[in-house]
């Protein structure tokens, strides 16, 4: 369950939270069993097999099986959540839910080496790309009333692009999904940063500013502001008397919420 008030357990499973819980359990299992922890760190290492590690693997399997059997729809998308006693959510699936499921199922595959979880993650990724990708504007719709990208959503999408490149891409002769070709994933990744993070203009991107050591050139006394022309202003040129910190901010994508 997603929530617990200290006395009573809730009755709803949020798909995004469930997926990231599985990733957290994967990291915990590696740490408690004495294996390297980090991005792509000794994935094939053999752990100590502690009781705590075995319990974590059991929980990962149960969570992954629940997603596959109770949240996956016939079209490959996953529902946003599930309420005990009522069933899956009935509202339209969101991009955030798909990202959580992909991350969680990939974590289950990495932790257990069970290919069924990788196959399921690939199916959700394919469905996500088919349902949410806007061919004209080269962005993913969010599935919400407004296409708003929060830093939370941007981080989740960036993480899924990474695991797609490392763990889900077509690396077998019988894997032919266009959306999971490395070139397609990379192009989506680039479009995401160009159109959402950097933005189409200096005022419209998610990243508010950047330091001078990221490719920009700062010359005292000159008002350069964006010498690398990536639509991300330098800190001192981002607005206000003292500039703007290099943080991510929520942006709205004005292309509608339907896949047009």
Q: Domains plus CATH for the chain?
A: 12-204 (1.50.10.10), 209-244 (no CATH)
Q: Which pLDDT tens digits describe the chain residue by residue (260 residues)?
A: 888 888 888 899 999 999 999 999 999 999 999 998 876 667 777 889 999 999 999 999 999 999 999 999 999 999 999 999 999 999 999 999 999 999 999 999 999 999 999 999 999 999 999 999 999 999 999 988 889 999 999 999 999 999 999 999 999 999 999 999 999 999 999 999 999 999 888 788 898 888 766 666 667 776 776 666 677 887 777 788 888 898 999 999 886 544 43
Place of tokens 């206000």: 240
The answer to whether 31 and 41 are in contact (CB under 8 A) is: no
Predicted local distance difference test score (pLDDT) of residue 260: 38
Predicted local distance difference test score (pLDDT) of residue 104: 98
Scanning 47-114, the segments in alpha helix (DSSP H) are 51-66, 95-112
Scanning 171-235, the segments in alpha helix (DSSP H) are 182-192
Compute CA 164 distance to the chain's CA centroid, rounded to the nearest angstrom.
10
Predicted local distance difference test score (pLDDT) of residue 258: 45
Predicted local distance difference test score (pLDDT) of residue 230: 79
pTM over the 0.75 mark: yes
Predicted local distance difference test score (pLDDT) of residue 81: 98
Six token digits for residue 187: 């192009």
Predicted local distance difference test score (pLDDT) of residue 17: 98
Residues near 198 by Cβ (< 8 Å), separated by ≥ 6? 205, 206, 207, 230, 231, 232
The answer to whether 102 and 125 are in contact (CB under 8 A) is: yes
Q: How far apart are alpha carbons 23 and 103 in whole angstroms?
A: 7
């Amino acid at each position: 369950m997603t929530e617990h008030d200290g006395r009573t357990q809730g009755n709803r499973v949020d798909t995004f939270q469930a997926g990231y819980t599985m990733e957290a359990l994967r990291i915990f299992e590696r740490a408690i069993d004495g294996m390297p922890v980090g991005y792509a760190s000794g994935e094939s290492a053999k752990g100590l097999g502690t009781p705590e590690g075995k319990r974590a693997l059991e929980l990962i399997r149960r969570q992954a099986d629940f997603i596959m059997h109770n949240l996956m729809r016939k079209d490959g998308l996953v529902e946003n959540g599930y309420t005990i006693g009522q069933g899956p959510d009935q509202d339209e699936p969101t991009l955030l839910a798909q990202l959580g499921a992909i991350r969680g199922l990939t974590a289950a595959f990495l932790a257990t080496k069970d290919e069924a979880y990788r196959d399921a993650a690939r199916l959700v990724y394919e469905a996500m790309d088919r349902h949410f990708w806007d061919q004209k504007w080269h962005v993913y719709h969010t599935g919400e009333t407004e296409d708003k990208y929060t830093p939370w959503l941007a981080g989740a999408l960036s993480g899924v692009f990474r695991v797609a490149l490392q763990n889900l891409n077509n690396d077998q002769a019988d894997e032919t999904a266009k959306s999971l070709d490395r070139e397609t994933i990379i192009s989506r990744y680039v479009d995401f940063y160009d159109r959402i993070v950097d933005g189409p203009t200096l005022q419209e991107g998610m990243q508010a500013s950047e330091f001078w050591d990221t490719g920009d050139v700062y010359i005292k006394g000159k008002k350069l502001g964006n010498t690398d022309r990536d639509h991300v202003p330098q800190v001192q040129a981002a607005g206000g008397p003292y500039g703007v910190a290099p943080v991510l901010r929520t942006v709205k994508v004005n292309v509608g919420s339907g896949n047009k």
